Structure 1
């Protein structure tokens, strides 16, 4: 076991509680504020989600944006039921698998243990771009449940883009970590780097006032607000995206965009300790969460949830569930089959909820910017296994196997919306936080702050350093074990955001060490 000390300091991020309004918990406080202001103006949780979704694409552009994909769980209080909506990325119908030969150089250099591809063509550059779904997904939810005009909901994102994202110490750190790859694309370098190599704002004096020039993105969002979401798939924006991606050597056609459609589905209903977790079915981490939680219910008793034996049971269930996922899941039934990410959770004053995860996949996605639109593009092709003959093998016209895991849960008098960013670490974080809420009756703040483990990366189990002692001793007797501290960068255990409703009281918070994340309560208009 690596690591030999438990931290002596305690770091907390107070959650927020609202007695007469809704709450938004997001990985950027300014996006959460935009959502809370929509709620205060009389908007539904879905209206707030539209505002937060687009604002996050501006304020945290390397994690998500209009050119990405994702999924959401919705709870409708008037219907007393949950809905699942998937809008993941797809490979282009024109994609040529022969463009991605194996290099024989071992494992890939990014999130997944696939065999390496020549020039990392499935990881960076235009050939790694998949058909985006975020705009279609959020528009579908708004069309069905929204109350406020689409154009009004994009206004906060437009305002932030016109001002340009502030490059503080955290933004400079994130940009620096990917500077070499960003420098390969002239448009990405122009947006994020000085002199093609240094993060904008990297100097002490510049950092105070340095902002990204997101004027092209502001123009794109303004056009999208006026023309409507469908323009992204069949209008001027669609034409611009296809032209830009094609000129850079990618696979994206007008037909790909025009035929894209999000998928509504009944959620998975996962029974757990007398309550229910509602998760997104299909090519998400929802089925994997269901497998893990089912094993927990037989692996340890509810009254033992705080014991070392429970941590061993959770690690075992997670490892088994991931083994099944990697061996069997993938879009291998043609197009008919229904990291680096951001998540936000919303509850409005009526009790409607949205748990939404959106992503570009890798940090900065493909490390490619569309020059006509100012949008950072996804690298969804990396989600596919480049080796032939697998359920998730790379091919044309297939849905990507996503790690996203937005959920809604209910137990007793409490209901919660929860999710996280962090690639394969997402589901272990979401499931354990849900267990803390449902087994031990923790508040959302207590559950997110509580120490967790991760067992999504093969044989190794990684435990929070605060668990050093009887818990790590028990884990070490069964699994190869390492410990890690929770720090702002990188996140060892994913980055969650959740809201809870108990009676008429709403609360919410985000990962303690998320530098920008926070919960914001609605302040009702007088």
Structure 2
């Protein structure tokens, strides 16, 4: 067995993060400040969707490299007492006028998430040619129109305020900015916002109290326009015209007609009848169908298995290997392991649940921050295979295939949960195992989030948490190529999950124990 261990770090340190428990509503997010925004909306009488909208915009300010108005995603919603759930699809799409000649193959393999054939100048990875039509604002607008109860402007007000304060640069933010400093230097507004005058990452002092911030005033003005003008301002108003002007000046083929034509949609969630309850998932072009296929493979294997042991982890690995092999062959998604996405969940005091995953795709997306609006744009074009005649080949006016997998589940004893993760192709294995811990082994959130997992997401290797007992690691190593690795703050060797749950009248919230910013909040 291969054991990967970062020798500079303590081998005896243990980390625990308690779940939040309350009879009031709970929000769990990758940033505690954004979760607190949602909790305040709940306290003021908003429902779970109101809170989710507020979190969606707030987290795009405090964690801007993961998501924001320049990105897209999926929301799963279940109202108390409903037998089903709905999905709001606000995924990204390629522009109608996309010109394939702008993406000539240059030999070799791409430099970022996907091992596609490389494109000249990485045009599908960074810069304006990599930008797909964003859906986040439209998705939140549709959620508000259909389920919201609080005024739209009120829900954006916290994000406007946070942008006015500027982005606080602590050690974790500094680390993430430093990882892409070379690409940020290519785009003036990105450099101006995230780097100092010398082109280095903005940084706080090593030993002194400091309050180093990135100026987000352009984003503040943009959010204020969306708050005042409504969500269509981003697609048809003066703001839309500003966005298109900046994109086209940088070389994008996105037009005003493209933005005006973009619409989010509501579709029924896929319903999976689990042996211990029900799971509601996102439909095509997400990891939802792959989750379902993995569960189908596990169902027979789990018959009569009542404890979490070596046989269970071997079956997790078997099912994930098979399901991902089918996905890669049929859906054309061969994403690598550095996808930068965010996930958050809300449960209100009435039991309404929302599970949201949204993304810019790569960390900092295209790395292009628009000069006038301060919107950091996605690089969703990279989701497509640039080689023609392949599954998921790049084409005009085409929806993007993603690995997002937000779910809502209900166990046979009435325990309900909303769950999802970030982490590119690591998302679905994390969601599958945590939901299995809850559904098959009766765990609550705190126990499920502290239980070690494996990652099998399309390669030839099982990455196993080195906190697993030796007998389980040995059983995995006998069947597969197994690498034992720790759960760390950076990099994430496994997906980064968050969840809320409802157990009778008690609500719970939990986030990845190694996430330094992730937290759950209540009131």
Q: Normalising by structure 2, what TM-score?
A: 0.96
3-state DSSP class of the match of 2:300? helix
2:472 aligned with 1:471, yes or no? Answer: yes
Measure, in 2, the Cα distance between the counterparts of 1:415 and 1:303: 22
Q: How does 1:447-458 map to 2 (within 5 A)?
A: 447-458=448-459
Q: CA distance change for structure 1 residues 302 and 47 in 2, over 3 Å: closer, same or farther?
A: farther
2:326 aligned with 1:319, yes or no? Answer: no
3-state DSSP class of the match of 1:372? coil
3-state DSSP class of the match of 2:129? helix
Q: Which stretch has the larger CA shift, 272-281 or 341-350?
A: 272-281
Match of 1:233 among 232, 235, 244: 235
2:134 aligned with 1:132, yes or no? Answer: yes
Q: Which stretch has the larger CA shift, 385-394 or 35-44?
A: 385-394
Who is 1:384 aligned against? 384
8 A contact 1:273–1:302 mirrored in 2:
no
Who is 2:409 aligned against? 409
Who is 2:31 aligned against? 28
Who is 2:119 aligned against? 117
Who is 1:68 aligned against? 71
Who is 1:350 aligned against? 350
1:301 CA drift (Å)? 3.1
8 A contact 1:183–1:196 mirrored in 2:
no
Q: How does 1:28-177 map to 2 (within 5 A)?
A: 28-105=31-108, 107-177=109-179
8 A contact 2:84–2:269 mirrored in 1:
no
8 A contact 1:47–1:153 mirrored in 2:
yes
Who is 1:296 aligned against? 298
1:222 CA drift (Å)? 0.6
* Per-residue deviation, residues 252-274 of structure 1 (Å, max 9, x unmatched): 11111111111211111112222
Who is 2:368 aligned against? 368
8 A contact 2:204–2:211 mirrored in 1:
no
8 A contact 1:267–1:280 mirrored in 2:
yes
3-state DSSP class of the match of 2:292? helix
Q: CA distance change for structure 1 residues 299 and 112 in 2, over 3 Å: closer, same or farther?
A: farther
8 A contact 2:142–2:265 mirrored in 1:
no
1:80 CA drift (Å)? 4.2
3-state DSSP class of the match of 1:496? strand
Measure, in 2, the Cα distance between the counterparts of 1:34 and 1:478: 46
3-state DSSP class of the match of 2:86? strand
Q: How does 1:172-183 map to 2 (within 5 A)?
A: 172-183=174-185
3-state DSSP class of the match of 2:467? helix
Q: Which runs of 5+ in 1 are unaligned?
A: 332-338
1:79 CA drift (Å)? 3.5
1:173 CA drift (Å)? 0.4
1:313 CA drift (Å)? 0.8
Q: CA distance change for structure 1 residues 305 and 425 in 2, over 3 Å: closer, same or farther?
A: farther
* Per-residue deviation, residues 346-398 of structure 1 (Å, max 9, x unmatched): 00000001000000000000000011111110000010111111120011110
Q: CA distance change for structure 1 residues 192 and 205 in 2, over 3 Å: closer, same or farther?
A: farther
Measure, in 2, the Cα distance between the counterparts of 1:347 and 1:7: 37
8 A contact 1:283–1:330 mirrored in 2:
no
Measure, in 1, the Cα distance between the counterparts of 2:246 and 2:486: 42
* Per-residue deviation, residues 298-323 of structure 1 (Å, max 9, x unmatched): 23335255111111111111111111
* Per-residue deviation, residues 66-92 of structure 1 (Å, max 9, x unmatched): 110000111111534311111100001
Who is 1:9 aligned against? 13
1:10 CA drift (Å)? 2.4
Who is 1:443 aligned against? 444
Q: How does 1:485-524 map to 2 (within 5 A)?
A: 485-521=486-522, 523=523
1:165 CA drift (Å)? 1.1
Who is 2:336 aligned against? none
1:97 CA drift (Å)? 1.4
Measure, in 2, the Cα distance between the counterparts of 1:268 and 1:35: 27
**RMSD between aligned alpha carbons?**
1.6
8 A contact 2:185–2:199 mirrored in 1:
yes
Q: Which stretch has the larger CA shift, 278-287 or 290-299?
A: 290-299
1:504 CA drift (Å)? 1.1
Q: Normalising by structure 1, what TM-score?
A: 0.95
List, as ranges, runs of 4+ consecutive aligned residues in structure 1 with deviation greater than 6 Å: none
Measure, in 2, the Cα distance between the counterparts of 1:54 and 1:508: 20
Measure, in 2, the Cα distance between the counterparts of 1:206 and 1:110: 36
Who is 2:216 aligned against? 214
* Per-residue deviation, residues 32-77 of structure 1 (Å, max 9, x unmatched): 0010000000001000001100000000000000110000111111
Q: Which stretch has the larger CA shift, 430-439 or 75-84?
A: 75-84
Q: Which runs of 5+ in 2 are unaligned?
A: 334-338
* Per-residue deviation, residues 190-229 of structure 1 (Å, max 9, x unmatched): 1100135311125437871111100000000011100000
8 A contact 1:7–1:465 mirrored in 2:
no
Match of 2:188 among 183, 186, 189: 186
8 A contact 2:328–2:458 mirrored in 1:
no
Measure, in 1, the Cα distance between the counterparts of 2:77 and 2:477: 39
